[in-house]
Structure 1
């Protein structure tokens, strides 16, 4: 029986790249907000199953996780980036950012802890360079990623039978990055950024690390 992995935000970009690499030897649940958002990747991969759910809807999340009895890998990739100065960002912006980047991660992990414990599983948190430092206009996003790192640090100590890896990539050449650069008023040049495949391979390497080692943190920067 193949191990099972759940990748959130796997309908495109980095999440899809991670799902493709894991599908070689895992049964992969393709997480996304809607059925349409995950259909293409789920159909592409023979060992994949669509897993559409709004991660910020607690009731929907509870129902979607109810039948997952054992889980070897949980990759938290879904997230949002609301950028602006402290003066510009509203309370609603801050709440939106933390709902997606922190609260949804914490609740999904909590619901899946029995399944992860049963498999001696691995939780991978796709964090950011912004989880290590904060720059102008990135206050809400960076604060959410600092919180995500703290969540991972606590989970790692509380659950000794589960491995927890925080991955801090620099900017990645994705559609989300295009939107960020457009919001910053810059000109997009994907060659300046990490490729999806590079970051996905780093995640796969962490998951493949032999069981006697615990890869706690990975930091990647464009050369």
Structure 2
């Protein structure tokens, strides 16, 4: 990163602020007719993102590995927006054939894909060196967080190119840090930042972002009790951030890492020219001069 992602000198936001106020999107149904797919969509961040897009008029595909969770998530959305079109699919994102079938199912149902949110992930407690972990479980985290995102990208990008759509990876600020005992999670999140850059480079008709959702106490985050006291941000913060990122207003951040905690108004006003000029907010070796 040209500038450490966690240290970009803008206001640090923990909840919805005026620059990402979703009210106009909800009132005007700005995503009406759009097809949005969310993996890890049965709870937490994924469900909240899906709910926001549904309130803005989009057709929703929820993906997870648990039918009961998917049914509950669909019911939550329909209770809030009864007219919503919501479909669900049980898929392990590391299963290549299952992901291929998923994408075919979505396109058959809604005719297209406009926005994909790769949110499914895995985390383990940060309590001991990786040499003391079950190596198969350590690698499973890598598979879910990297191969799962890759599989979704591989099969959705050709469809997104047709609609000039958006591919969002839910990454983590953890991918920019080196914290003891977090090797599987941090390495995988760092890797998908680079994958996001390749998505943008190789798919010029698609806009791609790797997004840190904020410090949120989700069910997944509870697997890392060492940092739970720091997890104070709301689920609505990343959901509202994504509505702005996929609105067309922030296409200049294509291929970049974006932190939901950043005040995007300040980022645009103070750093847009520098970020574009320096090709910043990507993974790179950097020596401050």
Give 5+ residue unaligned stretches, structure 1. none
Which of these residues, 170, 180, 204, is aligned with residue 160 of structure 1?
204
Give yes or no for contact 2:61–2:106 (8 Å, CA) kept in 1.
no
1:34-58, CA deviations, whole angstroms, 9 ceiling, x for partnerless residues? Answer: 2212111112323221122111222
Alignment match of 1:56 (pick from 94, 98, 101): 94
Q: CA deviation at 1:144?
A: 0.3
CA distance in 2, matches of 1:211, 1:193: 26
Q: Which has the higher contact order (CA 8 A, sep 6+)?
A: 2
| Structure 2 counterpart of 1:67 | 105
Please tell me whether residue 19 in structure 1 is matched to residue 56 in structure 2. Answer: no
**Separation in structure 1 between the aligned mates of residue 37 and residue 215 of structure 2, nearest angstrom:** 23
Distance 1:217 1:82 in 2: 23
| TM-score w.r.t. length of structure 2 | 0.70
Question: Of the candidates 224, 243, 250, which is equivalent to residue 204 of structure 1?
Answer: 243
Count of paired positions: 218
The answer on whether the counterparts of 1:34 and 1:54 sit within 8 Å (CA) in structure 2 is no
Residue of structure 1 in register with 2:34 after alignment: 3
User: 2:258 matched to 1:218?
Assistant: yes
Name the CA shift for 1:39/1:58 in 2 (closer, same or farther; >3 Å): same
Say if 1:195 and 1:211 are closer, same or farther in 2 by CA, change over 3 A: closer
Within the candidate set 133, 138, 152, 1:108 is matched to: 152
Of 33, 41, 45, 2:73 maps to: 41
Q: Is the 8 A contact 1:155 1:164 kept in 2?
A: yes
Distance 1:189 1:212 in 2: 34
Distance 1:212 1:151 in 2: 18
Between 41-50 and 70-79, report the one with greater CA deviation.
41-50
TM-score, normalising length: structure 1: 0.89
Output aligned runs, 1:150-189, within 5 Å.
Answer: 150-181=194-225, 184=226, 188-189=228-229
Q: Is contact 1:68-1:115 (8 Å) kept?
A: no
Tell me, what secondary structure is at the counterpart of 1:29? strand
- 2:285 match: none
**1:110/1:172 Cα in 2 relative to 1: closer, same or farther (>3 Å)?**
same
Which structure is larger by alpha-carbon Rg, 1 or 2?
2
Structure 2: gaps of 5 or more residues: 1-31, 78-83, 263-289
Residue 26 (structure 1) shift: 0.7
